[in-house]
Chains A and B, each alone.
Chain A
Amino acid sequence: MSFKNAWIVTQKEFSIVRLRKTLIYFYVAIPLVLSIGLPLLVLHIISGSSIKASDVQYVTGLMDAFEFFFAIIAVILSSYTSAYSIVGEKIQKSLEPLLSTPISDGEILLGKALSAFIPSFVAVLMGDSIYMTMMDKVTFHLLGYSYYPNLSVAIVLLLLVPVTIVFSIEVSTVASSRVSDPRSSYQLSMAGFIPFFIVYVLTEVGVITLTNTTLLSISGLVAVADVLMYTAVIKTFNRDKILTTWK
Protein backbone atom coordinates (compact mmCIF):
# COMPACT_ATOMS: atom_id res chain seq x y z
CA MET A 1 0.00 0.00 0.00
CA SER A 2 1.49 3.30 -1.08
CA PHE A 3 0.35 6.32 0.90
CA LYS A 4 1.68 8.52 -1.90
CA ASN A 5 -0.81 7.00 -4.38
CA ALA A 6 -3.65 7.33 -1.90
CA TRP A 7 -2.74 10.97 -1.30
CA ILE A 8 -2.84 11.67 -5.06
CA VAL A 9 -6.46 10.46 -5.02
CA THR A 10 -7.19 12.59 -1.94
CA GLN A 11 -5.75 15.70 -3.62
CA LYS A 12 -7.89 15.08 -6.70
CA GLU A 13 -10.98 14.78 -4.47
CA PHE A 14 -10.08 18.06 -2.77
CA SER A 15 -9.76 19.73 -6.19
CA ILE A 16 -13.31 18.63 -6.98
CA VAL A 17 -14.67 19.59 -3.54
CA ARG A 18 -13.18 23.08 -3.93
CA LEU A 19 -15.32 23.50 -7.04
CA ARG A 20 -18.50 22.32 -5.32
CA LYS A 21 -19.51 25.38 -3.37
CA THR A 22 -22.56 23.68 -1.79
CA LEU A 23 -20.28 21.09 -0.22
CA ILE A 24 -18.11 23.82 1.30
CA TYR A 25 -21.17 25.67 2.64
CA PHE A 26 -22.37 22.37 4.10
CA TYR A 27 -19.05 21.93 5.91
CA VAL A 28 -19.14 25.47 7.27
CA ALA A 29 -22.85 25.83 8.04
CA ILE A 30 -23.61 22.69 10.04
CA PRO A 31 -20.79 22.98 12.62
CA LEU A 32 -21.32 26.74 12.81
CA VAL A 33 -25.05 26.42 13.53
CA LEU A 34 -24.29 23.99 16.34
CA SER A 35 -21.35 25.87 17.76
CA ILE A 36 -23.29 29.12 17.98
CA GLY A 37 -26.81 27.78 18.44
CA LEU A 38 -26.10 25.52 21.42
CA PRO A 39 -24.41 28.21 23.57
CA LEU A 40 -27.28 30.59 22.72
CA LEU A 41 -29.75 27.92 23.83
CA VAL A 42 -27.93 27.52 27.16
CA LEU A 43 -27.77 31.29 27.50
CA HIS A 44 -31.54 31.42 27.05
CA ILE A 45 -32.03 28.69 29.70
CA ILE A 46 -29.88 30.28 32.36
CA SER A 47 -30.52 33.95 31.73
CA GLY A 48 -32.59 35.68 34.35
CA SER A 49 -32.74 32.74 36.75
CA SER A 50 -31.10 32.80 40.16
CA ILE A 51 -28.29 30.31 40.40
CA LYS A 52 -29.05 27.08 42.22
CA ALA A 53 -26.95 23.94 42.63
CA SER A 54 -29.44 21.96 40.52
CA ASP A 55 -29.05 24.48 37.71
CA VAL A 56 -25.33 23.90 37.62
CA GLN A 57 -25.81 20.14 37.44
CA TYR A 58 -28.47 20.47 34.75
CA VAL A 59 -26.39 22.79 32.61
CA THR A 60 -23.19 20.72 32.84
CA GLY A 61 -25.22 17.59 31.97
CA LEU A 62 -26.66 19.43 29.01
CA MET A 63 -23.20 20.52 27.90
CA ASP A 64 -21.91 16.94 28.07
CA ALA A 65 -24.84 15.76 25.97
CA PHE A 66 -24.26 18.58 23.48
CA GLU A 67 -20.70 17.38 22.99
CA PHE A 68 -22.17 14.21 21.55
CA PHE A 69 -23.76 16.31 18.82
CA PHE A 70 -20.31 16.77 17.36
CA ALA A 71 -19.93 13.03 16.90
CA ILE A 72 -23.31 13.07 15.15
CA ILE A 73 -22.35 15.87 12.77
CA ALA A 74 -19.12 14.01 12.06
CA VAL A 75 -21.36 11.21 10.69
CA ILE A 76 -23.46 13.65 8.66
CA LEU A 77 -20.49 15.44 7.10
CA SER A 78 -18.34 12.42 6.30
CA SER A 79 -21.27 10.37 4.92
CA TYR A 80 -22.15 13.22 2.60
CA THR A 81 -18.63 13.61 1.20
CA SER A 82 -17.98 9.91 0.99
CA ALA A 83 -21.29 9.23 -0.79
CA TYR A 84 -20.61 11.96 -3.36
CA SER A 85 -17.05 10.82 -3.84
CA ILE A 86 -17.78 7.20 -4.75
CA VAL A 87 -21.15 7.66 -6.46
CA GLY A 88 -19.65 10.64 -8.29
CA GLU A 89 -17.08 8.29 -9.83
CA LYS A 90 -19.89 5.90 -10.76
CA ILE A 91 -21.95 8.64 -12.41
CA GLN A 92 -18.97 9.95 -14.37
CA LYS A 93 -17.92 6.35 -15.09
CA SER A 94 -14.39 7.27 -14.10
CA LEU A 95 -13.68 4.18 -12.00
CA GLU A 96 -12.75 2.01 -15.00
CA PRO A 97 -9.92 4.25 -16.26
CA LEU A 98 -8.84 4.86 -12.67
CA LEU A 99 -8.64 1.13 -11.97
CA SER A 100 -6.54 0.65 -15.11
CA THR A 101 -3.70 2.68 -13.55
CA PRO A 102 -1.07 1.09 -11.31
CA ILE A 103 -3.01 1.96 -8.16
CA SER A 104 -4.45 -0.71 -5.90
CA ASP A 105 -8.08 -0.90 -4.79
CA GLY A 106 -6.92 -0.26 -1.22
CA GLU A 107 -5.05 2.89 -2.23
CA ILE A 108 -8.12 4.28 -4.02
CA LEU A 109 -10.24 3.48 -0.99
CA LEU A 110 -7.75 5.06 1.43
CA GLY A 111 -7.49 8.15 -0.77
CA LYS A 112 -11.25 8.55 -0.84
CA ALA A 113 -11.57 7.86 2.88
CA LEU A 114 -8.98 10.53 3.67
CA SER A 115 -10.78 13.03 1.47
CA ALA A 116 -13.92 12.50 3.58
CA PHE A 117 -12.11 12.14 6.90
CA ILE A 118 -9.89 15.24 6.84
CA PRO A 119 -12.51 17.93 6.07
CA SER A 120 -15.07 16.31 8.38
CA PHE A 121 -12.59 16.11 11.24
CA VAL A 122 -11.34 19.66 10.69
CA ALA A 123 -14.91 20.99 10.50
CA VAL A 124 -15.87 19.23 13.73
CA LEU A 125 -12.67 20.39 15.43
CA MET A 126 -13.24 24.00 14.45
CA GLY A 127 -16.94 23.87 15.25
CA ASP A 128 -16.25 22.36 18.66
CA SER A 129 -13.57 24.96 19.36
CA ILE A 130 -16.02 27.78 18.66
CA TYR A 131 -18.66 25.96 20.69
CA MET A 132 -16.32 25.56 23.69
CA THR A 133 -15.20 29.18 23.59
CA MET A 134 -18.74 30.49 23.39
CA MET A 135 -20.09 28.05 25.97
CA ASP A 136 -17.37 29.03 28.44
CA LYS A 137 -18.26 32.69 27.99
CA VAL A 138 -21.97 31.94 28.46
CA THR A 139 -21.62 29.68 31.52
CA PHE A 140 -18.67 31.28 33.34
CA HIS A 141 -20.86 33.42 35.57
CA LEU A 142 -22.98 30.36 36.45
CA LEU A 143 -20.16 27.87 37.03
CA GLY A 144 -17.44 30.23 38.22
CA TYR A 145 -14.88 28.49 36.04
CA SER A 146 -14.28 27.54 32.38
CA TYR A 147 -15.94 24.17 31.80
CA TYR A 148 -13.96 23.57 28.61
CA PRO A 149 -11.62 22.08 27.60
CA ASN A 150 -11.96 18.97 29.69
CA LEU A 151 -11.28 15.22 29.45
CA SER A 152 -14.73 14.50 27.97
CA VAL A 153 -14.04 16.83 25.05
CA ALA A 154 -10.64 15.22 24.53
CA ILE A 155 -12.26 11.77 24.39
CA VAL A 156 -14.98 12.98 22.01
CA LEU A 157 -12.68 14.89 19.69
CA LEU A 158 -9.64 12.64 19.66
CA LEU A 159 -11.29 9.24 19.98
CA LEU A 160 -15.03 9.15 19.39
CA VAL A 161 -15.16 11.54 16.41
CA PRO A 162 -12.33 9.83 14.45
CA VAL A 163 -13.73 6.30 14.93
CA THR A 164 -17.21 7.61 14.13
CA ILE A 165 -16.02 9.21 10.89
CA VAL A 166 -14.30 5.97 9.87
CA PHE A 167 -17.52 4.06 10.60
CA SER A 168 -19.67 6.41 8.54
CA ILE A 169 -17.21 6.31 5.61
CA GLU A 170 -17.33 2.51 5.68
CA VAL A 171 -21.15 2.47 5.76
CA SER A 172 -21.19 5.00 2.96
CA THR A 173 -18.80 2.96 0.82
CA VAL A 174 -20.93 -0.16 1.12
CA ALA A 175 -24.09 1.87 0.47
CA SER A 176 -22.52 3.55 -2.57
CA SER A 177 -21.95 0.19 -4.25
CA ARG A 178 -25.69 -0.45 -4.28
CA VAL A 179 -27.05 2.78 -5.73
CA SER A 180 -26.20 5.10 -8.56
CA ASP A 181 -27.47 8.35 -7.14
CA PRO A 182 -25.56 10.37 -4.51
CA ARG A 183 -28.75 11.28 -2.62
CA SER A 184 -29.82 7.65 -2.31
CA SER A 185 -26.33 6.74 -1.22
CA TYR A 186 -26.35 9.52 1.37
CA GLN A 187 -29.75 8.44 2.66
CA LEU A 188 -28.55 4.84 2.97
CA SER A 189 -25.32 6.03 4.58
CA MET A 190 -27.32 7.81 7.22
CA ALA A 191 -28.05 4.36 8.64
CA GLY A 192 -24.72 4.91 10.36
CA PHE A 193 -26.29 7.90 12.11
CA ILE A 194 -28.99 5.83 13.85
CA PRO A 195 -26.89 4.26 16.67
CA PHE A 196 -25.48 7.66 17.60
CA PHE A 197 -28.90 9.25 17.61
CA ILE A 198 -30.21 6.48 19.88
CA VAL A 199 -27.35 7.10 22.30
CA TYR A 200 -28.17 10.81 22.29
CA VAL A 201 -31.86 10.16 22.98
CA LEU A 202 -31.01 7.72 25.79
CA THR A 203 -28.80 10.42 27.26
CA GLU A 204 -31.53 13.03 27.09
CA VAL A 205 -34.08 10.74 28.78
CA GLY A 206 -31.57 9.88 31.48
CA VAL A 207 -30.99 6.22 30.63
CA ILE A 208 -27.32 6.87 29.89
CA THR A 209 -25.06 9.42 31.49
CA LEU A 210 -22.26 10.55 29.24
CA THR A 211 -19.43 10.12 31.68
CA ASN A 212 -15.87 9.67 30.49
CA THR A 213 -16.23 5.92 30.97
CA THR A 214 -19.39 5.86 28.84
CA LEU A 215 -17.69 7.88 26.12
CA LEU A 216 -14.68 5.55 26.17
CA SER A 217 -16.99 2.52 26.00
CA ILE A 218 -18.94 3.97 23.06
CA SER A 219 -15.66 4.83 21.29
CA GLY A 220 -14.45 1.26 21.87
CA LEU A 221 -17.69 -0.21 20.48
CA VAL A 222 -17.49 2.01 17.40
CA ALA A 223 -13.85 1.00 16.91
CA VAL A 224 -14.89 -2.66 16.98
CA ALA A 225 -17.66 -1.86 14.46
CA ASP A 226 -15.00 -0.16 12.29
CA VAL A 227 -12.94 -3.34 12.21
CA LEU A 228 -15.98 -5.50 11.41
CA MET A 229 -17.18 -3.12 8.69
CA TYR A 230 -13.69 -3.02 7.17
CA THR A 231 -14.09 -6.64 6.02
CA ALA A 232 -17.36 -5.77 4.27
CA VAL A 233 -15.74 -2.71 2.67
CA ILE A 234 -12.78 -4.69 1.34
CA LYS A 235 -15.16 -7.26 -0.14
CA THR A 236 -17.27 -4.51 -1.71
CA PHE A 237 -14.50 -2.28 -3.02
CA ASN A 238 -12.94 -4.90 -5.21
CA ARG A 239 -12.20 -4.17 -8.88
CA ASP A 240 -13.92 -7.32 -10.12
CA LYS A 241 -17.09 -6.40 -8.23
CA ILE A 242 -16.91 -2.69 -9.03
CA LEU A 243 -16.91 -3.36 -12.77
CA THR A 244 -19.29 -6.28 -12.85
CA THR A 245 -21.77 -6.22 -9.98
CA TRP A 246 -21.95 -2.60 -8.82
CA LYS A 247 -25.21 -0.96 -9.86
Chain B
Amino acid sequence: MIYAEGLTKVFGDFTAVENLTFQVTDGEIFGLLGPNGAGKTSTLRMLSCLISKTSGEARIGDLSIGNKEDSIKIRRIIGLVAENVGLYEELSAYKNLDFYGKLYGLSETQRKENLKNLLEEFDLWEVRDKPVATFSKGMKQKVAIARALSHDPKVLFLDEPTANLDPEAAKMVRDSILNLKKEGKTIFLNTHNLDEAQRICDRVGILKTKLIALGSPEQLKESLKGDKTIIDLEEINDKILGAIKTVSSSEIEIDGKRLIIDVRNPQAENPILIKAITSAGGNIVAVSQLSPTMEEVYIKAVREKK
Protein backbone atom coordinates (compact mmCIF):
# COMPACT_ATOMS: atom_id res chain seq x y z
CA MET B 1 0.00 0.00 0.00
CA ILE B 2 2.79 2.46 0.88
CA TYR B 3 6.04 2.33 -1.08
CA ALA B 4 9.09 4.53 -0.64
CA GLU B 5 12.35 4.21 -2.50
CA GLY B 6 15.26 6.55 -1.94
CA LEU B 7 12.88 9.09 -0.42
CA THR B 8 14.81 12.19 0.58
CA LYS B 9 13.91 15.57 2.04
CA VAL B 10 16.38 18.42 2.25
CA PHE B 11 15.64 21.79 3.85
CA GLY B 12 18.28 24.24 2.62
CA ASP B 13 21.55 22.62 3.66
CA PHE B 14 19.91 20.31 6.22
CA THR B 15 18.99 16.78 5.23
CA ALA B 16 15.94 15.71 7.23
CA VAL B 17 15.36 12.35 5.56
CA GLU B 18 17.90 10.51 3.44
CA ASN B 19 17.39 7.70 1.00
CA LEU B 20 14.48 6.07 2.78
CA THR B 21 13.32 2.77 1.31
CA PHE B 22 10.53 0.60 2.72
CA GLN B 23 7.10 -0.84 2.01
CA VAL B 24 3.98 -1.09 4.10
CA THR B 25 1.56 -3.79 3.06
CA ASP B 26 -2.24 -3.61 3.10
CA GLY B 27 -3.72 -3.88 6.58
CA GLU B 28 -0.35 -3.58 8.31
CA ILE B 29 0.53 -1.34 11.24
CA PHE B 30 3.95 0.09 10.49
CA GLY B 31 5.73 2.05 13.21
CA LEU B 32 8.45 4.56 12.60
CA LEU B 33 10.67 5.06 15.61
CA GLY B 34 13.43 7.56 16.05
CA PRO B 35 14.82 10.29 18.28
CA ASN B 36 13.69 13.91 18.03
CA GLY B 37 14.76 15.43 14.72
CA ALA B 38 15.21 12.00 13.12
CA GLY B 39 12.91 12.91 10.25
CA LYS B 40 9.78 10.99 11.30
CA THR B 41 7.38 13.90 10.87
CA SER B 42 9.01 14.97 7.59
CA THR B 43 8.55 11.41 6.31
CA LEU B 44 4.92 11.33 7.36
CA ARG B 45 4.32 14.74 5.82
CA MET B 46 5.88 13.70 2.52
CA LEU B 47 3.81 10.52 2.42
CA SER B 48 0.61 12.40 3.19
CA CYS B 49 1.36 14.99 0.47
CA LEU B 50 1.75 17.85 2.93
CA ILE B 51 5.26 18.76 1.89
CA SER B 52 7.17 18.01 -1.29
CA LYS B 53 9.91 15.41 -1.50
CA THR B 54 13.37 16.48 -2.63
CA SER B 55 14.13 13.23 -4.43
CA GLY B 56 13.25 9.57 -4.56
CA GLU B 57 9.98 7.84 -5.29
CA ALA B 58 6.97 7.22 -3.10
CA ARG B 59 3.51 5.85 -3.78
CA ILE B 60 0.29 5.17 -1.99
CA GLY B 61 -1.19 2.25 -3.90
CA ASP B 62 -0.77 3.19 -7.54
CA LEU B 63 -0.78 6.90 -6.88
CA SER B 64 2.48 8.72 -7.09
CA ILE B 65 3.51 11.19 -4.39
CA GLY B 66 4.76 14.36 -6.01
CA ASN B 67 2.36 14.14 -8.94
CA LYS B 68 -0.05 17.05 -8.55
CA GLU B 69 -3.14 15.22 -9.80
CA ASP B 70 -2.35 12.11 -7.76
CA SER B 71 -1.76 14.20 -4.64
CA ILE B 72 -5.44 15.20 -4.49
CA LYS B 73 -6.45 11.55 -5.04
CA ILE B 74 -4.05 10.41 -2.32
CA ARG B 75 -5.50 12.91 0.11
CA ARG B 76 -8.94 11.42 -0.56
CA ILE B 77 -7.85 7.94 0.53
CA ILE B 78 -5.71 8.84 3.53
CA GLY B 79 -6.50 10.17 6.96
CA LEU B 80 -4.04 12.10 9.12
CA VAL B 81 -3.81 12.49 12.86
CA ALA B 82 -1.11 15.10 13.29
CA GLU B 83 1.12 15.45 16.32
CA ASN B 84 -1.09 18.27 17.52
CA VAL B 85 -4.77 17.44 17.38
CA GLY B 86 -5.50 20.69 15.52
CA LEU B 87 -9.18 20.87 16.34
CA TYR B 88 -11.32 23.99 16.21
CA GLU B 89 -11.70 24.45 19.95
CA GLU B 90 -14.76 26.71 19.82
CA LEU B 91 -16.69 24.29 17.64
CA SER B 92 -18.40 21.14 18.85
CA ALA B 93 -16.99 17.69 18.15
CA TYR B 94 -19.78 17.12 15.63
CA LYS B 95 -19.11 20.39 13.78
CA ASN B 96 -15.38 19.64 13.64
CA LEU B 97 -16.07 16.27 12.05
CA ASP B 98 -18.84 17.58 9.83
CA PHE B 99 -16.52 20.24 8.38
CA TYR B 100 -14.02 17.58 7.38
CA GLY B 101 -16.77 15.34 6.03
CA LYS B 102 -17.80 18.18 3.74
CA LEU B 103 -14.22 18.74 2.60
CA TYR B 104 -14.02 15.06 1.67
CA GLY B 105 -17.13 15.55 -0.45
CA LEU B 106 -19.45 13.33 1.61
CA SER B 107 -23.18 13.84 1.15
CA GLU B 108 -25.25 14.99 4.11
CA THR B 109 -26.69 11.49 4.52
CA GLN B 110 -23.23 9.89 4.43
CA ARG B 111 -21.89 12.43 6.88
CA LYS B 112 -24.73 11.89 9.33
CA GLU B 113 -24.28 8.13 9.17
CA ASN B 114 -20.47 8.11 9.31
CA LEU B 115 -20.24 10.67 12.08
CA LYS B 116 -22.85 8.97 14.23
CA ASN B 117 -21.02 5.64 13.86
CA LEU B 118 -17.64 7.17 14.62
CA LEU B 119 -18.79 9.26 17.55
CA GLU B 120 -20.53 6.24 19.05
CA GLU B 121 -17.50 4.02 18.41
CA PHE B 122 -15.26 6.52 20.19
CA ASP B 123 -17.79 7.03 22.98
CA LEU B 124 -18.28 10.69 22.10
CA TRP B 125 -21.88 10.69 20.91
CA GLU B 126 -23.28 12.05 24.19
CA VAL B 127 -20.89 15.00 24.13
CA ARG B 128 -21.04 15.65 20.38
CA ASP B 129 -22.53 19.14 20.73
CA LYS B 130 -20.11 20.36 23.39
CA PRO B 131 -17.22 22.64 22.39
CA VAL B 132 -14.00 20.67 21.95
CA ALA B 133 -12.30 23.17 24.28
CA THR B 134 -14.12 21.52 27.19
CA PHE B 135 -12.73 18.05 26.36
CA SER B 136 -9.85 16.21 28.04
CA LYS B 137 -6.68 15.50 26.03
CA GLY B 138 -7.73 11.90 25.51
CA MET B 139 -11.15 12.93 24.25
CA LYS B 140 -9.58 15.46 21.89
CA GLN B 141 -7.28 12.79 20.53
CA LYS B 142 -10.27 10.55 19.94
CA VAL B 143 -12.02 13.37 18.07
CA ALA B 144 -8.87 13.84 15.97
CA ILE B 145 -8.80 10.13 15.12
CA ALA B 146 -12.52 10.14 14.35
CA ARG B 147 -11.97 13.18 12.13
CA ALA B 148 -9.26 11.37 10.19
CA LEU B 149 -11.67 8.47 9.70
CA SER B 150 -14.70 10.55 8.69
CA HIS B 151 -14.28 9.60 5.01
CA ASP B 152 -13.36 5.95 5.67
CA PRO B 153 -9.75 6.21 4.43
CA LYS B 154 -7.72 3.20 3.36
CA VAL B 155 -4.54 4.49 4.97
CA LEU B 156 -4.20 6.25 8.29
CA PHE B 157 -1.15 8.30 9.23
CA LEU B 158 -0.68 8.89 12.95
CA ASP B 159 2.01 11.18 14.31
CA GLU B 160 2.71 10.49 17.98
CA PRO B 161 -0.95 9.73 18.75
CA THR B 162 -0.41 8.90 22.42
CA ALA B 163 2.14 11.59 23.27
CA ASN B 164 1.07 13.65 26.28
CA LEU B 165 -1.80 11.33 27.10
CA ASP B 166 -2.28 9.72 30.49
CA PRO B 167 -1.88 5.91 30.53
CA GLU B 168 -5.62 5.26 30.41
CA ALA B 169 -6.20 7.60 27.47
CA ALA B 170 -3.12 6.20 25.71
CA LYS B 171 -4.48 2.67 26.09
CA MET B 172 -7.82 3.82 24.72
CA VAL B 173 -6.08 5.24 21.64
CA ARG B 174 -3.95 2.10 21.18
CA ASP B 175 -7.08 -0.07 21.39
CA SER B 176 -8.70 2.13 18.76
CA ILE B 177 -5.69 1.67 16.48
CA LEU B 178 -5.87 -2.11 16.88
CA ASN B 179 -9.58 -2.01 16.08
CA LEU B 180 -8.81 -0.07 12.90
CA LYS B 181 -6.33 -2.76 11.90
CA LYS B 182 -9.11 -5.32 12.32
CA GLU B 183 -11.19 -3.23 9.92
CA GLY B 184 -8.40 -3.63 7.37
CA LYS B 185 -6.89 -0.14 7.51
CA THR B 186 -3.24 0.32 6.73
CA ILE B 187 -1.68 2.32 9.53
CA PHE B 188 1.55 4.32 9.49
CA LEU B 189 2.48 5.28 13.02
CA ASN B 190 5.18 7.66 14.17
CA THR B 191 6.02 7.08 17.77
CA HIS B 192 8.57 7.65 20.49
CA ASN B 193 6.93 5.03 22.60
CA LEU B 194 8.87 1.78 22.21
CA ASP B 195 6.44 -0.21 24.29
CA GLU B 196 3.62 1.01 22.09
CA ALA B 197 5.53 0.05 18.95
CA GLN B 198 6.17 -3.41 20.34
CA ARG B 199 2.56 -3.89 21.36
CA ILE B 200 0.74 -2.75 18.26
CA CYS B 201 3.08 -2.61 15.27
CA ASP B 202 3.47 -5.48 12.84
CA ARG B 203 6.77 -4.01 11.71
CA VAL B 204 8.89 -1.08 12.80
CA GLY B 205 11.55 1.02 11.19
CA ILE B 206 14.12 2.92 13.21
CA LEU B 207 14.90 6.22 11.58
CA LYS B 208 17.74 8.57 12.19
CA THR B 209 17.72 10.59 9.00
CA LYS B 210 18.39 7.22 7.35
CA LEU B 211 16.50 4.02 8.05
CA ILE B 212 18.85 2.16 10.38
CA ALA B 213 16.74 -0.89 11.22
CA LEU B 214 13.64 -2.48 9.78
CA GLY B 215 11.65 -5.56 10.75
CA SER B 216 9.00 -6.92 13.09
CA PRO B 217 9.59 -6.15 16.79
CA GLU B 218 10.38 -9.86 17.25
CA GLN B 219 12.90 -9.84 14.37
CA LEU B 220 14.62 -6.78 15.76
CA LYS B 221 14.80 -8.28 19.23
CA GLU B 222 15.98 -11.53 17.71
CA SER B 223 18.94 -9.66 16.31
CA LEU B 224 20.02 -8.99 19.90
CA LYS B 225 18.84 -12.26 21.42
CA GLY B 226 21.46 -14.15 23.43
CA ASP B 227 23.49 -11.09 24.09
CA LYS B 228 23.45 -11.73 27.81
CA THR B 229 23.46 -15.01 29.77
CA ILE B 230 22.71 -14.76 33.47
CA ILE B 231 24.17 -17.42 35.76
CA ASP B 232 23.28 -17.45 39.45
CA LEU B 233 25.83 -19.28 41.62
CA GLU B 234 26.08 -20.28 45.24
CA GLU B 235 29.45 -18.58 45.35
CA ILE B 236 31.72 -16.72 42.96
CA ASN B 237 35.49 -17.06 43.28
CA ASP B 238 38.61 -16.40 41.18
CA LYS B 239 38.86 -20.06 40.13
CA ILE B 240 35.39 -19.89 38.53
CA LEU B 241 36.14 -16.56 36.85
CA GLY B 242 39.46 -17.94 35.57
CA ALA B 243 37.68 -21.01 34.16
CA ILE B 244 35.19 -18.80 32.33
CA LYS B 245 38.01 -16.68 30.86
CA THR B 246 39.66 -19.80 29.42
CA VAL B 247 36.54 -20.55 27.32
CA SER B 248 35.16 -17.06 26.67
CA SER B 249 36.70 -13.73 25.92
CA SER B 250 33.37 -11.97 26.56
CA GLU B 251 32.88 -9.26 29.12
CA ILE B 252 31.74 -10.58 32.50
CA GLU B 253 29.66 -8.47 34.86
CA ILE B 254 29.42 -9.54 38.51
CA ASP B 255 26.32 -8.60 40.48
CA GLY B 256 26.51 -10.23 43.94
CA LYS B 257 26.31 -13.96 43.27
CA ARG B 258 25.17 -13.40 39.71
CA LEU B 259 27.30 -13.43 36.58
CA ILE B 260 26.09 -11.58 33.52
CA ILE B 261 28.07 -12.69 30.48
CA ASP B 262 27.90 -11.26 26.97
CA VAL B 263 27.45 -14.09 24.48
CA ARG B 264 27.00 -14.02 20.73
CA ASN B 265 25.55 -17.49 20.27
CA PRO B 266 23.86 -18.65 23.48
CA GLN B 267 22.97 -22.11 22.19
CA ALA B 268 26.62 -22.88 21.43
CA GLU B 269 28.32 -20.89 24.17
CA ASN B 270 26.09 -21.54 27.22
CA PRO B 271 26.88 -25.29 27.54
CA ILE B 272 30.62 -24.51 27.36
CA LEU B 273 30.30 -21.84 30.03
CA ILE B 274 28.30 -24.13 32.31
CA LYS B 275 30.81 -26.94 31.88
CA ALA B 276 33.70 -24.62 32.70
CA ILE B 277 31.97 -23.32 35.84
CA THR B 278 31.04 -26.77 37.14
CA SER B 279 34.55 -28.06 36.36
CA ALA B 280 35.92 -25.24 38.49
CA GLY B 281 33.71 -26.37 41.36
CA GLY B 282 31.01 -23.82 40.91
CA ASN B 283 27.47 -24.69 42.03
CA ILE B 284 24.96 -23.26 39.56
CA VAL B 285 21.61 -22.21 41.03
CA ALA B 286 20.00 -20.94 37.84
CA VAL B 287 20.77 -20.07 34.25
CA SER B 288 18.65 -17.64 32.30
CA GLN B 289 18.74 -15.61 29.17
CA LEU B 290 18.19 -11.89 29.34
CA SER B 291 15.59 -11.11 26.63
CA PRO B 292 16.36 -7.79 24.98
CA THR B 293 13.67 -5.16 24.99
CA MET B 294 12.67 -2.86 22.17
CA GLU B 295 14.39 -0.14 24.14
CA GLU B 296 17.69 -2.01 23.90
CA VAL B 297 17.14 -2.65 20.20
CA TYR B 298 16.38 1.01 19.69
CA ILE B 299 19.30 2.31 21.75
CA LYS B 300 21.71 -0.08 20.10
CA ALA B 301 20.55 0.91 16.62
CA VAL B 302 20.67 4.63 17.35
CA ARG B 303 24.09 4.42 19.08
CA GLU B 304 25.58 2.35 16.28
CA LYS B 305 24.45 5.07 13.87
CA LYS B 306 26.39 7.65 15.89
- In contact, B102 and A8 (Cβ under 8 angstroms): yes
The answer, among A8, A16, A20, A243, for a CB contact under 8 Å with B45, is: A243
Given contacts A100-B50, A239-B50, contact A19 B87 (CB under 8 A): no
- In contact, B148 and A15 (Cβ under 8 angstroms): no
Does A97 belong to the interface (CB within 8 Å)? yes
- In contact, B80 and A97 (Cβ under 8 angstroms): yes
The answer, among A16, A99, A100, A102, for a CB contact under 8 Å with B90, is: A16
Contacts of B45 in A (CB 8 A): 96, 243
B47-87 CB contact bits vs A (8 Å, 1 = yes)?
A: 01111100000000000000000001101101111101111
The answer, among A15, A16, A95, A97, for a CB contact under 8 Å with B144, is: A97
Does A52 belong to the interface (CB within 8 Å)? no
- In contact, B147 and A97 (Cβ under 8 angstroms): yes
Contacts of A96 in B (CB 8 A): 45, 50, 80, 82, 84, 86
* Contact residues, A148-166 vs B (CB, 8 A): none
Interface centre among A12, A93, A96, A97 (most CB of B within 10 A): A97
A102 to B68, CA, bound (A): 11
Q: Which residue of A lies closest to B157 (CB)?
A: A100
Contacts of B79 in A (CB 8 A): 100
Given contacts A100-B78, A102-B75, A239-B51, contact A95 B103 (CB under 8 A): no
Contacts of A95 in B (CB 8 A): 86
Contacts of A98 in B (CB 8 A): 86, 103
Does A101 belong to the interface (CB within 8 Å)? yes
- In contact, A102 and B76 (Cβ under 8 angstroms): yes
Does A5 belong to the interface (CB within 8 Å)? yes
- In contact, B72 and A243 (Cβ under 8 angstroms): no
Write 17 A-B pairs (CB below 8 A) sorted by A numbering.
A8-B102, A12-B91, A12-B99, A15-B95, A19-B90, A92-B88, A92-B89, A93-B82, A94-B87, A95-B86, A96-B50, A99-B50, A100-B50, A102-B72, A104-B72, A240-B52, A243-B45
Given contacts A15-B95, A92-B87, A102-B104, contact A97 B148 (CB under 8 A): yes
B145 to A: closest C-beta gap in Å: 11
A94 to B84, CA, bound (A): 8
Contacts of A243 in B (CB 8 A): 45, 50-51
- In contact, A16 and B75 (Cβ under 8 angstroms): no
- Chain A binding surface, main DSSP class: helix
- In contact, A100 and B88 (Cβ under 8 angstroms): no
Contacts of B48 in A (CB 8 A): 100
A83-120 CB contact bits vs B (8 Å, 1 = yes)?
A: 00000000011111111111110000000000000000
- In contact, B103 and A8 (Cβ under 8 angstroms): yes
Q: Which residue of A lies closest to B100 (CB)?
A: A101
Q: Which residue of B lies closest to A94 (CB)?
A: B86
A95 to B271, CA, bound (A): 61
- In contact, B52 and A101 (Cβ under 8 angstroms): no
Contacts of A54 in B (CB 8 A): none
Does B105 belong to the interface (CB within 8 Å)? yes
Does A244 belong to the interface (CB within 8 Å)? yes
Contacts of B81 in A (CB 8 A): 97
- In contact, A103 and B103 (Cβ under 8 angstroms): yes
B250 to A: closest C-beta gap in Å: 48
A96 to B51, CA, bound (A): 10
Q: Which residue of B lies closest to A101 (CB)?
A: B103
Interface centre among B99, B103, B144, B148 (most CB of A within 10 A): B103
Contacts of A104 in B (CB 8 A): 72
Contacts of B49 in A (CB 8 A): 100
- In contact, A240 and B90 (Cβ under 8 angstroms): no
A7 to B39, CA, bound (A): 35
A103 to B: closest C-beta gap in Å: 5
B206 to A: closest C-beta gap in Å: 24
B38 to A: closest C-beta gap in Å: 16
A98 to B99, CA, bound (A): 10
